[in-house]
Amino acid sequence: MSSVRRLPLSLAMLAAMAGAACGNPPDKEMQQAQGAIDAARAAGADQYARDEFAAAEDAASAPRPPPRKRPI
């Protein structure tokens, strides 16, 4: 590939990565996961599938990095 074509392609890829990095934190998905854990607890998963339920709770309560501040 010639350098004439490589530069616009590289710039397009860089712009796509920068745009993807500006997304919002997955709050909706985290709430859905917590709802699924609560439903599993209500169904008795903590008694019948102890190891799997404990792993799900551990994953849901794992510390998360703070959201990055967006430049103005």
Residue, of 26 and 4, whose pLDDT is higher: 26
**pLDDT for position 3:** 64
pTM recorded for the entire structure = 0.56
The model's pLDDT over 10-47, given as tens digits with 9 standing for 90+, comes to: 777 767 766 666 667 678 888 998 999 999 999 999 99
Residue 18 forms part of a structural domain: no
Residue 19 forms part of a structural domain: no
Tokens representing 23 are 């997304």
**Number of domains the chain is built from:** 1
Q: Give the burial string for 27-51 (b: 16+ CB within 10 Å, else e).
A: eeeeeeeeeebeebeeeebbeeeee
Give the C-alpha separation, 59 to 43, whole Å.
Answer: 19
Residue 39 forms part of a structural domain: yes
Domain with 35 in it: 26-61
Residue 52 forms part of a structural domain: yes
**Nearest Cα residue to 68 out of 17, 25, 13:** 25
Residue 54 forms part of a structural domain: yes
Residue 56 forms part of a structural domain: yes
Residue 15 forms part of a structural domain: no
